[in-house]
Structure 1
Amino acid sequence: MNRRSILGLLGLAPLALISSKVPTDNPLTANLIRRWKRSKEYTLAVLEAMPAEALEYSPTEQQMSFAQHFLHLGFTNNMFLGILLDKNTYPDFEAMMEADFFLDRPDPVNLMQPDRLEKREATVNKALVAKYVADTFDYVISGIGALTDEMLAGGGEREKPWFLEGHSRLDLILRGEGHTTHHRAQAIVYLRLKGIQPPGYSKYNTL
């Protein structure tokens, strides 16, 4: 597929007019991809550290379960990159929820309020959550790979739900990584509360 076809697929056709100005190497996108790959490894390592039978542990009834934090961050990453890549625009959250870029979740678990997975063998539920998280990371990494550094600065003017108004493509990618860090850190606290040593941060964040 040529550059023009890729741009059209992503809803970025106007940028094809300046393709001669797009650098052939993209150090920013390359760095983003590297960081997201490392983030994927670390996030899955944190998930793996919790025993399957404690996957839905929560310190209080008001908090998301351990599993929900991972489903929530995966869904959010899928959402941010879906908005970035889709040629359609979404004026509000309800319209966005009808978009066809969302990957299938293990269950229609509430991703904002405490909820539980379907009753299955604990190891099955853990495998389903891990696959979903991995798939959403792969979706992000693949999407970033279709962009160029020049494209990252654009997109702020596109119509989006109010909580993402004005976000450039780079903003969406960075916000996704910040959001992932936020929920992964909470999951690490859950491990500590269960007396489990979390995976070391530095091991998974070297270049």
Structure 2
Amino acid sequence: MQALRKYGDPEYWNKRYSTASGTFDWYFEYHPFIAQILDGFNSKEISILDVGCGNSKFSEILVSKGYKKITCIDYSKAFFEHLFQEFHERLPSVHYMYMDARMLSFPEASFDVVFDKGLLDSALTGELSYVNAKQIIKSCLRVLKPFGKYIIISHSDMETRKEHFLDPSFDCELRCESIVVTDNDCHEGEERLPDLTFYAYIFSKHLH
């Protein structure tokens, strides 16, 4: 656990992004399961928020699929000092903003989809992890529109995460799905990596 604590430390991310270039994705770049959820809205005009975006390729993939209202936030100053210009030039339609996911400054009910791939996992390795995790979830649910989807991708199963997610105050429907990521990029003669399993937690917000 000690080795993982660096992921909950903002300084780790500032150091990482101060020398990074190009894109890098934790867990996976994209997955048919994510596409299925987005396709369920039957519109390319839905508003999507990616929290803890870093230098992920996710926004680029969304743009390539025709989505037009994409906002990405991150709390690393180094990302905006060293990588923002590169991403902004390549993806001028995407709004990149410096913001803390625990205290999102958007108005209530601003987004159809809120997407978190690894942010909550990182928060749960740092100091005040339980407090920070609850603040992130409540903040993301606040900016989610009625009938919207808040998607959290995690390396941990429900047994491990239930104390964070099964909170009556969230007042949302929650389901968990396993996502199997296969090594589809191996070439003939190369050793195939084992499949990996991640977990998608989908909060569905209903109109009251």
TM-score, length-scaled by structure 1 = 0.26
Structure with higher strand content: 2
Structure with higher helix content: 1
Work out which of the two has the higher radius of gyration on C-alpha atoms and give 1 or 2: 1
TM-score, length-scaled by structure 2 = 0.26
